[in-house]
Amino acid sequence: MYLPSHFEESRSDVLHGLIRSHPLATVVTLSKDGINANHIPLLISPESGQFGVLRGHIARSNSMWSDLVQDVDALAIFQGPDSYISPSWYPTKQEHGKVVPTWNYAVVHAYGSLRIIDNVEWVRNLVESLTNQQEAGFSKPWAVSDAPSDYTDRLIESIVGFEIVISKLTGKWKVSQNQPAQNQEGVVKGLKDRGNNSSLEMATLIEEKLT
């Protein structure tokens, strides 16, 4: 990933925060036929290892686990807020007109060795943890135990687990840091005026960098 220093985000707690809030990762692995990419929600355990451990599961019929080239790191990509940035939001447009559109975004790349875990109890615990995390915001959270046990037992047997011990963790927060303060403030106003969730999330990220 191209990463100019002014866009780099290296604080582990901030990177883990984006992973928790945007857990659907693009997991890139290498198979005997080449690069393989799967889209998988992952759970971060920040207390494990230097940068944390990612855990997830896939269908047993998914060749990602059975056709994995060993001794090659996997890459998990987490996409955070993103938004188109209009040059009309820059006050400097009125001064000299030398402005162009761009796209702001926040992403996390997590690299590490991927280990397959074909263990029913491990997978069950993972599924329960992932479910509990995502259901926490509901007034009446659903739990795995709410479904018939014979039904969930069959489903859990049809999946396998994996974990990625993170050996390298990088973040890119492209949130208008390369613009003068007046343009950053103009972008925040433009995003808030648009009012959709992604725009408001991006406005918050820019404001965090301004403070």
Count of domains forming the chain: 1
In a domain, 199, yes or no: no
Q: For 163, what's the count of Cα atoms within 13 Å in the CB-facing half-sphere?
A: 18
Identify the CATH number of the domain in which residue 157 sits: 2.30.110.10
In a domain, 68, yes or no: yes
In a domain, 164, yes or no: yes
Q: With H, G, I as helix, E, B as strand and everything else as coil, classify residue 23.
A: coil
Give the per-residue pLDDT at 28.
98
In a domain, 187, yes or no: no
Rounded Cα distance between 86 and 78, Å, is 24
Which of 61, 22, 56 minimizes the C-alpha distance to 40? 56
If pLDDT is split at 50, 70 and 90, which confidence band does 211 have? low
In a domain, 204, yes or no: no
In a domain, 149, yes or no: yes
pLDDT digits 0-9 by tens, 133-192: 999 999 999 999 999 999 999 999 999 999 999 999 999 999 999 999 999 999 999 999
Give the per-residue pLDDT at 98.
84
**Read out DSSP for 192-210?**
HHH--HHHHHHHHHHHHHH
| Domain membership of residue 73 as a residue range | 5-81+101-178
In a domain, 148, yes or no: yes
pLDDT digits 0-9 by tens, 91-127: 998 888 788 999 999 999 999 999 999 999 999 999 9
In a domain, 127, yes or no: yes
